[in-house]
Amino acid sequence: MYSQGLIGADGKTSETEEFLAAFQKRIDAEEKIEPNDAMPEGYRKTLVRQIAQHAHSEIVGMLPEGNWINRAPSLRRKAALLAKVQDEGGHGLYLYSAVETLGVSREEVTEELHSGKAKYSSIFNYPTLSWADIGTIGWLVDGAAIMNQIPLCRCSFGPYSRAMIRVCKEESFHQRQGYEIVMKLAQGTQAQKDMAQDSINRWWWPALMMFGPSDKDSAHSEQSMKWKIKRFSNDELRQRFIDATVPQAHYLGLEIPDPDLTWNEEKGGYDHGEIDWDEFWRVVGGGGVMNRDRVRDRKAAWDEGAWVREAALAHAEKRRARQMAAE
């Protein structure tokens, strides 16, 4: 995996100063940019990169939890998990549609995922080892996703911002179902409490990494914030997530695996320990425990689903022919 590049955000656009200034004026006036509007090539490419990465994350993100559907401990848990995993698939589809409004097909971005060129969230390269992981993913991973995505509901690009409104409503349900699973375990037997704690110990740091590199190392944040694609920096959102989540862990009587975590009265938030950025970049670069399996499984699903896509296209073609004959 390597950088997908970012034409335009480096100031190398061929657009005139006047064009760029007029576009920025629309952004500053909080106007929504729609697919047929004139836009700098860098703005379009940034959106294609981010939305496609986001779509891939939703689709790849079905795998770690999908792995537990037939092992869920009750019918109620199985039904809820099945619905959640389906929701994630739906989010991926809205997002691929948003990419298509920018002139890039789903096949093209899927090919980039399969070839390893396109990134997807680092978090999905960790394995789900116990049932508690399903609760922790809902609580921490969906919790982090919501923290990141609520501001995206105000993204300057219309189709992305509108998709995010529905996505966030569903993620909020996911977060609560996850928290409820962890709560049941935390109030259960010692073995169940231990399972919950072990799960938090493994997922806490990777969840913090979901927000991306620290601001000083974030290549795209400054330009993306100027274009109001992103509204807050990676570190700002990470801090909000920590401040919201630590009291939730305390309520459950569970520990956050960070010995340096301390309440800072002055800033009104928690100070936290150093994130292992070497691990982050290793996982982003394809070296996580599950990277290879995730891409292999997505490729297999794409290949095995070819007949469904062909059948759907043939059906649509027949309907169109029938409608035309009737007109």
Work out whether 228 is an interface residue with ligand FAQ (CB under 6 A): no
Give the nearer residue to ligand FAQ in terms of CB position, either 11 or 268.
Answer: 11
Q: How many residues touch ligand FAQ (CB under 6 A)?
A: 30
Residue numbers 21-60 binding ligand FAQ by CB under 6 A: 49-50, 53-54, 57-58
Give the nearer residue to ligand FAQ in terms of CB position, either 137 or 186.
Answer: 137
Residue numbers 260-319 binding ligand FAQ by CB under 6 A: 284
| The one among 98, 112, 122, 195 contacting ligand FAQ by CB under 6 A | 122
CB of 101 to ligand FAQ, least distance (A): 17
Q: Which of 210, 184, 182, 216 is nearest to 197 (CA)?
A: 182
CB of 322 to ligand FAQ, least distance (A): 38
| 135-154 footprint of ligand FAQ as x/- string (CB under 6 A) | --x---xx--x--x------
HEC readout, the chain: CCCCCCCCCCCCCCCCHHHHHHHHHHHHCCCCECCCCCCCHHHHHHHHHHHHHHHHHHHHCHHHHHCCHHHCCCHHHHHHHHHHHHHHHHHHHHHHHHHHCCCCCHHHHHHHHHHCCCCCCHHHHCCCCCHHHHHHHHHHHHHHHHHHHCHHHHCCEHHHHHHHHHHHHHHHHHHHHHHHHHHHHHCCCHHHHHHHHHHHHHHHHHHHHCCCCCHHHCCCHHHHHHCCCCCCCHHHHHHHHHHHHHHHHHHHCCCCCCCCCEEECCCCEEECCCCCHHHHHHHHHHHCCCHHHHHHHHHHHHHHCHHHHHHHHHHHHHHHHHHHHHC
CB of 299 to ligand FAQ, least distance (A): 19
Report whether 174 contacts 84 (CB < 8 A).
Answer: yes
Which region, judged by CB under 6 A, interacts with ligand FAQ, from 107-115, 155-163, 219-227, 254-262?
Answer: 219-227
| The one among 45, 48, 72, 88 contacting ligand FAQ by CB under 6 A | 88
Work out whether 121 is an interface residue with ligand FAQ (CB under 6 A): yes
Work out whether 248 is an interface residue with ligand FAQ (CB under 6 A): no
Give the nearer residue to ligand FAQ in terms of CB position, either 50 or 197.
Answer: 50
| The one among 155, 210, 252, 254 contacting ligand FAQ by CB under 6 A | 210
Which region, judged by CB under 6 A, interacts with ligand FAQ, from 205-213, 248-256, 308-316, 318-326?
Answer: 205-213
Residues that bind ligand FAQ (CB under 6 A): 3-4, 49-50, 53-54, 57-58, 61, 88, 119, 121-122, 137, 141-142, 145, 148, 209-213, 218-221, 224, 234, 284
